[in-house]
Amino acid sequence: MSLHPPKPVATPVSAPFWEGVKAGKLLLQRCRTCSRLQFPPTDTCRDCAGDEFTMEEMSGLGKVFSFTETVSGARHPYFQSQSPYLVGQVELDEQAGLIMATNFPGSTYVQLSVGAPVRVEFETIADDAVLPQFRVV
């Protein structure tokens, strides 16, 4: 049995996001009331408390917002086997403050910098699970 990252568990609210990811699309919620994008998906808008959303496909482009290299303390066996590994946040081009957490596959610590351009890619981690990850471009 090969190790893989923990599989995402979809909720009724997050299911459209995960279905999009499986189809190779980065779909995020847009509030019908104030037009703001948000992630992660929730029942109400963080800006105006509206409760009606559309799902909109993002470009998948952004920039490194923050990052670190994790060298110890991983609890999940997969991450223990990958240590050290890079984790961080990206800000998507579509909206200031629209942040997603990520790993940085194919990157080294010295290649990363705040503001570096990134592009989403979709990593199949198991037969039934795909994760959006961001790669420095």
76 pLDDT above the threshold of 90: no
Q: Residue 26 sits in which domain range? A: 11-57
3 within domain boundaries: no
Instruction: Please tell me the predicted confidence (pLDDT) of residue 2.
Output: 62
Where is average pLDDT lowest: 15-19, 64-68, 103-107? 103-107
Residue 1 counted as domain residue: no
What CATH number should be reported for the domain holding residue 113?
2.40.50
Q: Are residues 100 and 132 in the same domain?
A: yes
HEC secondary structure over 38-57: ECCCCCCCCCCCCCCEEEEE
Model pTM score: 0.91
Query: Considering the domain boundaries, does residue 83 fall inside one?
Result: yes
User: CB count, 10 Å around CB of 99?
Assistant: 15
Q: Are residues 100 and 127 in the same domain?
A: yes
Contacts of 135 (CB under 8 A, 6+ apart): 104, 105, 106, 107, 118, 119, 121
Is the pLDDT at 1 greater than 60, yes or no?
Answer: no
Handedness of CA 114, 118, 124, 129 (dihedral sign): positive
- Considering the domain architecture, whether residues 93 and 37 belong to the same structural domain is answered as no
CB 54 within 8 A of CB 89: no
Q: What is the pLDDT of residues 93-132, one digit of tens each?
A: 999 999 999 999 989 999 999 999 999 999 998 888 999 9
